[in-house]
Structure 1
Amino acid sequence: MHKSDLSGGAGPSHSIYTLLLSTTMSTEFDVEGTLSLLSLPNKIKLLTGQGSWHTEAVAEAGVPSMRLSDGNVPSTQCNYKDPVSPVKTTGPNGVRGTRFFNGVPSSCFPASTGLGSSFDVDLVRKVGEALGDESRAKGCHVLLAPTVNTQRSPLGGRGFESFSEDPHLNGTIASAYINGLQSKGVSATIKHFVANDQEFQRFSISSDVSERALREIYLKPFQIAIKNSNPWALMTAYNRVNGLHASEDKRLLDDILRTVSISGPTNSFFETFSCLVPGSSNFKEWGFKGLVMSDWNGVYSTVESIKAGLDLEMPGPSLFRGKALERSIVAEKLFHADIDVRVRKVLELLKHAHASGIPFDGPEESVDTLESRQTLRTAAADSIVLLKNDKKLLPLTGKAKKIVVIGPNAKHAMTSGGGSAQLLSTYSISPLQGIKTAAKEIGAEVTYTIGAVSHRYLPLLDPYVQQPSGRPGVLIEFWNDPPVADYVSTSPDFKAPLEQAIWSTPTLTTHSFMTDGIDETKVNLTCWMRITAKFTPDEDGDWEFGLSIAGRANLFLNQKLVIDLSTNPPQGESFFGLGTSDEQTVVKGLKAGQVYDLELRLSNAEFAVRGSPFRCWGGVRMGAMKQINGDGAITEAVQLAKAADGKWESEGFDRTDIGLPGLTNQLVREVLLANPNTVVVNQSGTPVSMPWIEEASAVVQAFYGGNELGNGLADVLFGKVNPSGKLPLTFPKCLEDSPSYLSFGNKGQEHGKILYNEGIFVGYRGFEIKNVAPLFPFGFGLSYTQFEYSHLNSSTISPDGKFKVTFDIMNIGDVQGREVAQIYVTDQRSSLPRPTKELKGFVKVDLKPGETKRVEYMLDREALGFYDDRAAHWIAEEGIFTVMVAASSTDIRLTTAVELEEEFTWTGL
């Protein structure tokens, strides 16, 4: 190869460039024509992102920069030990845009476990459409969602980002989400491919899983979504799969995922031959035609990732492409044809972006309309699951005149989980706000007390602060040199005049991780900051303040030192392991309504010297709340309860147990003892234990519900919405009952490996095979009405595995309601062990009192088959299958038998 082969050359003339732009921007984007115009350096350039949220542009070839976005902002709760950029990823809460710091606010939708609990494909499609509208408003061409990793353990720090423990429900809900999103011209990015279900050593750990479990449990939701919704992009996982990083695993990214590209008679020959010899390297199983990108800094090789099928390395600048890729071509470890295959996928995604009509490098705006608010509210209400209602305490109609709301998550809206799943919401309605509004309509009085603390960090100061100008939020000022000699000290001279700041910006939140959004033309990476605000407490008493920072800082209230993080600040987990621990103190005797001057003086000099794996100006998280005496607060809550008639999950770390934090369980028990007419509302993204469950007569599971959490919850509690959610994952009585108990996280790792010892028996499959009763089973959820099932019939199974089941559902109660009918299948005799039952279909039926509807549901070979790992194909064996129609995985209402007369096998979709 000559050196000139790597040069950019003169490029096309200006007149050709102008003509190209006029044609490509007004007609269908020409992938092959554009590819032919690109020099090799520009092709290589396109295989890495431009910063965190854009692809590279090549102006001389008419290639604009696409914008990508996930739905989240970072959290101080993350714990990254790996020296890489952790500035992404997560599930489908919303559309953040291109900035972590001071970004444009977004609608926050319920977390994925909440959407999964709806079992409602129509609702989830509407959510996808709404996210498409949000993406278009943000100028976003590619949304980095949804997440469909199987929830194999309740301890998973990001479990709430996936829809379910069951692959069929997971993939079906994901398909609806993708179809809704892409109907708006916005590309979905299904992720994280594959077996990425824990945070412990997530960049290096090897998920060691059997081929059969990989196929039936972990790959299956991806397979279903690709078959039913055709996502335009896919993101690889950080981890290894059976020893090899997913981003450089050719078998995963090419042999299983991709489609064959041979045409004509040879293609049909290879397709025929591959059926005879499964696993043939010439056969690609799923036919995925979209782009494959890495998770952020999830690339670990140059040649291997290119050959495996990884098209786009994110983010930029490149770690493993660029010059390294040029060198690999010179050494003929790679060839021009290898690069063209990868570039073609980038251009094909760009073709979708052109067709969408979304401007390139457009402005970012919020979406906050009556229609979007109603979608948010409906999604929040439909995410809620009624677990117990023994005494018919719910709904709270005219019977309740005095209502006491108790609990830390009531006053502060927990709209999403932690880590990068957190989102700067356009607005939020707390449970307390929603309940007060609903109670007012029925003339009920509402009293609130916290009862016990369950926060890992103190709630943000946001509700209590205003900028010096009187607007919400705080003001941040920047200097490139300390404005006075003792600027960051425990006793600065507040009378000493400060030099004028070189730049300043307001921000709406007291939680800022400044990786972007800073005017780099004025502010150096090493700088000094001052954050000022007016703080107004809403209660008399002693207040706790909490502070964690990336840098050195001191917090002052009315010019008195409150927290010292300038003198040997302790290293902690905040800001992806780059910041301090969360230091807390108590300020005594604050008065409600009195205005206090709040000032934080911060230097990031030591932070900058110590070094960050990515560009960052520092970070701040300030929280506060009235100090709570544990036993005293519980006593107060109990006294209020007697007079009445009537929240830890995040990217970056896994949970250590499934217990409720702090004194929460004690609080619940004592309140239940004081007043049995208590409704317990649990808010979590994944299962928790409930040691007080026998004493509780009414229990509601509220997942992270997004902006309209409070109103959605109140709609259910007060009967405006009849609850219809079903649990998308099994709630165990104790952690030890979980099928993955012995092989998860730090406890389960063996020399950098996690052994998936439970095999295919994940979730309810594992509980049933071991005959262990859960706290609440998969698919469980009550209603304010009752349903009766009858007349189950099945057609005969066709030779290719298709058959139809029909049955009736009747609402035998006195209120309108929706029922999720679940269809499970059991293979009565098989050559390999199979689960007791497997979910293979579901339908949500809306019925008026006394109404009956006939349900028809078509099943296919997926309902019958399993993966034969020795023969390397799917097989449906001849014999009798039991079809069950159920209200949950343990509440079987109807059964029938069907017979497959002759076995058959298949590969691919």
Structure 2
Amino acid sequence: MTDTSTDTAATTPEDTDEFIAGLVSDLSLEQKVRLLTGASFWTLHDEPQIGLETIVVSDGPAGVRGQLWDERDSSANLPSPTALAASWDVERVFELGQLIAAEARRKGVGVALGPTVNIQRSPRGGRHFEAYSEDPWLSGVVGTAFVKGVQSRGVGATPKHYVANDSETDRMTVDVVVDERTLREVYLAPFERMVTEGGAWLVMSSYNSVNGITMTENELLRSPLKDEWGFDGVVVSDWMGVRDTVAAGAAAQDLAMPGPDGVWGDALVEAVRAGQVSETDIDEKVLRILRLAGRIGALAGVEAAAPLAEPWPQERIDALLREAAADGIVLVKNDGVLPLDAGSGQSIAVIGQHARIARSQGGGSATVFPDHVVTPLAGLTEAFGDAVRFAPGVRSSESLLPVDASVASDPVTGESGVHVRFLSDDGRVVLDEHRGSGRLMWLGDPILGDTAVVEAKTTFTAPADGEYAVGFAGLGLFRFEVDGELKSDGLFFPEGTDPFMAFLNPPKQSFPIRLAAGQTVELRLEHRPQQQAGLSAVMFTLGYEEPFSDADAELERAVALAADSDVAVVVVGTTDQLESEGFDRANLRLPEGQDELVRRVIAANPRTVVVVNSGGPVIMPWLDDAPATLLTWFPGQEMGAAIADVLSGAREPGGRIPTTWAAAEDDVPVWQVEPVDGKLFYSEGLNIGYREWARRAAVGGPAPAIPFGHGLGYTEWELGEPTLGAGAAAGAHEGDVATHGLTVSVPVTNVGDRAGKQVVQVYLQRVSDSAIERPVLWLAGYAVVRSEPGAATVASVEVEPRSLQYWSVDDHAWRTEEGTYAVRVGTSVATLSAPVEFTV
């Protein structure tokens, strides 16, 4: 990084801005405009004249990928953001943010593109796993801890996607229609906290429109973001989100990604000279980019805002991720089955393909490539040894598995993996390289400019007897051969395919082949790259499907194994085809056959534990019959070790539900995520998630399967009567709650026989008649309590003045309504104390 020990270095924020303004004035219009579009897919332009270095950005909600989207540069794979929110532990989230910074600096990255703080408005949202919660307050608190953690080690955090990008259907073009109050109180609120309290250095604008105007041109970028909240950082677009030269240039959009091509460049220079865009606006954008560069240590003469992170040792990473995964696991139900005694020698049937082929993370741009993933089967085998036996039960996914070291070897080098060649039009080899996996991707890579054909070859070795299927997943022009026999040649673009969705989750073409254990076949795939939206991009998978010929026999074998074991652990979950960025979920059901598998195993063994691994809610029709059920939320690379820790009791299941789970699809409050005539109406207003469940319950509506805030542990707790006191703000005294908030104190005693964790939650209600619409209740604070058996403590929860306020559409400001309110305390929204009233 730049040596900032110069005598001319700025020493205060005011000095820094004055210094940066001087740098801006030294640049020509062309130089300034050049800085407003990326230099490549993942980098910003440098400018040696003023000491500006290249800045590298990378996706970062659940790990930092860096500039390579593949196995060549492995990354720590954190639990999904929903798992982090399920822990309700902001101190651990802060530490995970510091890990993100360490990973970023190790990869030469200065900006992490996360956290994602869109609201989990509907459980059908395909990117549900990448956001925190259905509650705006919890989303903001957890997201702010993450931002602070990342930036405390000199890496910029980027809350995204601003704003109302809460589902995936037509997300590039959808116009979200939302009223002013709902926008402020629900969808803008998490961003406000991350800017005003977290001090975020960037915010990413979203693809969608809000109330008729696309977000890269929307006035919301100026107000409230910059004018009202005082955001002094960079508004970076989502990739290819800037579409209009003048409208976006005149708006408060600062940086268009990716580059080097885009709608700005020469066209924006011409627009400035024609008087369509003010050069003052250009200067403001450049100043913000240079301010960011200074903060991360990429601008000569400006000292970095925080000490730059150093790489972490692998042992520290693994330990934290194992801890964090366990702390996000929610124990929904336990009829005394858990915890299991690892030293008892009891036999354990582990059932389900999800136990053997782990889904540690969600699909799409949040995907990273960890150097290892501990599968649930591996974790349980490590914990319980030879007592563990496995059966797949049902096929869990129809997707191709990328060939990897376990089944494939490079026919050129002999190493495990795949051999890749880039060929020019005349057949010249531009580059050849060895790769460790058949999942291959290049985005904006300069080599693609000279490439007519990308060829991937491997020798596939069958690990067991059976009928396999080999093939590829991708879109475009492909030629595929098996042992020299042509299987496919031409355009592969299935009817009805959405190109954007397919880019993240491509369709497959596969061909059956019967092999004996150890038998080999040569696979060769050619792909002809095409420009996509003006961008050179190649993404495809060379892979295979495992034998699974007799579904009925496999199911019966799994049930028999469960019946013959002391304990059965069934691991089920969603797949890339059901839950991923790029599309919304068609339904909330588990893949075909999984519910039947769970029912049959429960019937066969009264000591069955069901582990559900999904990023968002699924319907569990067998829940009432399951002796024990856990939710794991795509828990990262240490998932199997964390699951084993929780099942064995080595760690507490620390999670509490951050988003409500319905018992039936018909009960879901917000089902509609598809636009109608291009518009998606947020007609539910303030009442999303548990707020709507509570409103309907008050008039006899259905109860959820799992209420917001719910989660069990392995000990028992008693909560005493809450008492209210003055807020913690300086000068607070009884009676000025509207100005200083209040403190809620709750006696908490661990009355069980082991140490544990409890989350004491505080909700507010309006008691007296209100002139404005209010939710039936809303989360206003919580405290995480960890204590030893027999220990008593007092949980203290600060309720902020904002929790009492509403957004006045008449005044366009926050207002506090006088009257009587009530505090209710509990361990979930469904287990609350009697109201304790107070007057504002």
Pair 1:514–1:25, CA change in 2 (3 A): farther
Instruction: Identify if the C-alpha distance between structure 1 residues 448 and 696 changes in structure 2 by more than 3 Å, giving closer, same or farther.
Output: same
For structure 2, the 5+ residue unaligned runs are: 568-572, 726-733
Structure-2 residue corresponding to 1:670 = 600
Q: Secondary structure at the match of 1:633?
A: helix
Does the 8 Å contact 1:474/1:531 carry over to 2? yes
Post-superposition CA distance 1:162-215 (Å, at most 9, x none): 000001110000011111110101010011000001111111101111111111
Matched, 1:889 2:829: yes
320, 336, 339: which one pairs with 1:375? 320
> Secondary structure at 1:421's aligned position in 2?
coil
Structure 1 residues 136 and 530: alpha-carbon distance in aligned structure 2, compared to 1, 3 A threshold? closer
In 2, Cα distance between equivalents of 1:800 and 1:793: 19
Q: Contact 1:551 / 1:602 at 8 angstroms: preserved in 2?
A: no
SS at match of 1:193: coil
Provide the residue aligned with 1:447 in structure 2.
Answer: 389
Give the alignment's TM-score, normalised by structure 2.
Answer: 0.91
Kindly indicate whether residue 43 of structure 2 is the aligned counterpart of residue 54 of structure 1. yes
Deviation at 1:588, TM superposition (A): 1.6
Q: Which runs of structure 2 are paired with 1:178-327 in the superposition (5 Å)?
A: 178-250=147-219, 252-258=220-226, 284-327=227-270
Give distance in 2, aligned partners of 1:242 and 1:860.
30
Amino acid at match of 2:537: C
Asked if 1:809 corresponds to 2:735, the answer is: no
CA distance in 1 between partners of 2:312 and 2:534 (Å): 34
% identity of equivalent residues: 33
Which residue does 1:852 correspond to in 2? 792
Secondary structure of 1:32's partner?
A: helix
Shift of 1:301: 1.9
Superposition deviation, residue 515 in structure 1? 2.3
Q: Following TM superposition, by how much is the alpha carbon of 1:390 offset from its aligned partner in structure 2, in angstroms?
A: 1.5
Whether 1:332 and 2:275 are equivalent positions in the alignment is: yes
- Given that residues 10 and 303 in structure 2 are in contact (C-alpha distance below 8 angstroms), is that contact kept between their aligned partners in structure 1? no
Residue in structure 1 matched with residue 424 of structure 2 by the alignment: 480
Is 231-240 or 853-862 further displaced after alignment? Answer: 853-862
Q: Which residue does the alignment assign to 1:391?
A: 336
Distance (whole Å) between structure 1 residues aligned to residue 831 and residue 431 of structure 2: 63
| Alignment gaps of 5+ in structure 1 | 1-17, 72-91, 259-283, 484-499, 901-909
Letter in 1 for 2:535: F
Cα pair 2:40 2:444 within 8 Å, conserved = no
| Contact 1:191–1:235 (8 Å) recurs in 2 | yes
Alpha-carbon RMSD: 2.6
Query: CA, structure 1 residues 811+895, in 2 after alignment: closer, same or farther (shift >3 Å)?
Result: farther
Who is 1:778 aligned against? 708
Which residue matches 2:462? 537
2:29 counterpart (40, 45, 51): 40
Corresponding residue for residue 871 of structure 1: 811
1:342 aligned partner: 285
**Distance (Å, rounded) in 1 between the aligned partners of 2:753 and 2:44:** 56
What's the offset of the Cα at 1:553? 3.7
Change (3 A) 1:394 1:331: same
Quick check: 2:714–2:754 contact (8 Å CA) kept in 1? yes
Corresponding position of 2:643: 713
The alpha carbon displacement at 1:150 in A equals: 0.4
Alignment of 1:123-142 (within 5 A): 123-142=92-111
Greater mean alpha carbon deviation, residues 292-301 or residues 105-114: 292-301
How many angstroms apart in 1 are the aligned matches of 2:270 and 2:717?
Answer: 67
Say if 1:590 and 1:894 are closer, same or farther in 2 by CA, change over 3 A. Answer: farther
Is residue 510 of structure 2 the alignment partner of residue 584 of structure 1?
A: yes
Does the 8 Å contact 1:826/1:836 carry over to 2?
yes
Which residue number in structure 2 is paired with residue 5 of structure 1? Answer: none
Q: TM-score, normalised by structure 1?
A: 0.84
Q: What is the CA-CA distance between 1:576 and the residue it aligns to? A: 4.9
Are the aligned partners of 2:460 and 2:520 in contact in 1 as well (CA < 8 Å)?
yes
Q: Indicate the residue corresponding to 2:570 in structure 1.
A: none
Question: Residue by residue, what CA displacement relative to the aligned partner does 1:297-322 show, whole Å, maximum 9, x if unpaired?
Answer: 11122222233211111111242211
Q: Distance in 2 between matches of 1:518 and 1:342?
A: 28
CA displacement at 1:328 relative to structure 2: 1.3
- In the alignment, the residues of structure 1 paired with residue 480 and residue 452 of structure 2 have an alpha-carbon distance, to the nearest angstrom, of 20
1:800 aligned counterpart, secondary structure? helix
Query: Does the 8 Å contact 1:106/1:367 carry over to 2?
Result: no
Does structure 2 conserve the Cα–Cα contact (< 8 Å) formed by 1:549 and 1:621? no
Q: Structure 1 residue 156 and structure 2 residue 125: aligned?
A: yes
2:112: which partner in 1? 143
Task: Quickly say closer, same or farther: Cα 1:786–1:164, change in 2 above 3 A.
Answer: same
Aligned partner (choices 768, 773, 784) of residue 833 of structure 1: 773
Secondary structure of 1:229's match? Answer: coil
Q: 1:3-152 residue pairs with structure 2 within 5 A?
A: 30-71=19-60, 92-101=61-70, 103-152=72-121
Corresponding residue number in structure 1 for 2:559: 638
Contact 1:466 1:535 in 2 (8 A): yes
| C-alpha contact 2:423 2:451 (8 A) present in aligned 1 | no
Amino acid at match of 2:540: G
Paired residues, number:
802
Report the Cα distance in structure 2 between the residues aligned to 1:724 and 1:22, rounded to whole angstroms: 48
Cα separation, 2, equivalents of 1:568 and 1:239: 29
Match of 2:377 in 1: 432
Indicate which of 669, 690, 694 corresponds to 1:768.
Answer: 694
Asked if the contact 2:475/2:507 (under 8 Å) is kept, the reply is no
Displacement of 1:429: 0.8
| Structure 1 runs of 4+ with >4 Å offset | 18-29, 355-359, 364-368, 516-520, 554-561, 565-576
Kindly indicate whether residue 673 of structure 2 is the aligned counterpart of residue 758 of structure 1.
no
**1:736 matched to which residue of 2?**
666
Q: Is the 8 A contact 2:402 2:541 kept in 1?
A: no
Change in Cα spacing, 1:614 to 1:455, as seen in structure 2 (3 Å) is same
**CA contact 1:732–1:776 (8 Å) conserved in 2:** yes
Contact map agreement 2:59 2:366 (CA 8 A) in 1: no
Corresponding residue for 2:403? Answer: 461
Letter in 1 for 2:614: S
Q: Give 1:878 deviation, angstroms.
A: 1.5
CA contact (8 A) 2:175 2:211 kept: yes
Q: Is the 8 A contact 1:785 1:814 kept in 2?
A: yes
Q: Say whether 1:508 aligns with 2:436.
A: yes
8 A Cα contact 2:395 2:548, kept in partner: no
Offset at 1:530? Answer: 3.5
State which of 601, 605, 622 in structure 1 corresponds to 2:525. 601
Give the corresponding residue for 1:821.
760
Cα shift at 1:740: 1.3
Asked if the contact 2:424–2:452 (Cα under 8 Å) also holds between the matched residues in 1, the reply is yes
Distance 1:618 1:431, change over 3 A: closer
After superposition, give the CA deviation of every residue in 1:438-491 in whole Å (9 maximum; x if it has no partner). 012xxx5111111112214133322422334453322212322476xxxxxxxx
Bigger shift: residues 511-520 or 405-414: 511-520
- Paired residue for 1:693, among 623, 630, 653? 623
2:365 alignment partner, SS class: helix
CA deviation digits over 1:522-549, x for unaligned, max 9? x7231241322x3333332222334223
How far apart are residue 131 of structure 1 and its match?
Answer: 0.7
Counterpart secondary structure, 1:638? helix
Partner secondary structure for residue 615 of structure 1: strand
Which secondary structure does the structure 1 equivalent of 2:73 belong to? coil
Question: 1:183 is aligned with what amino acid?
Answer: S
> Are the counterparts in 2 of residues 100 and 517 from structure 1 also a CA contact under 8 Å?
no
Q: Which residue, out of 699, 704, 717, partners 1:787?
A: 717
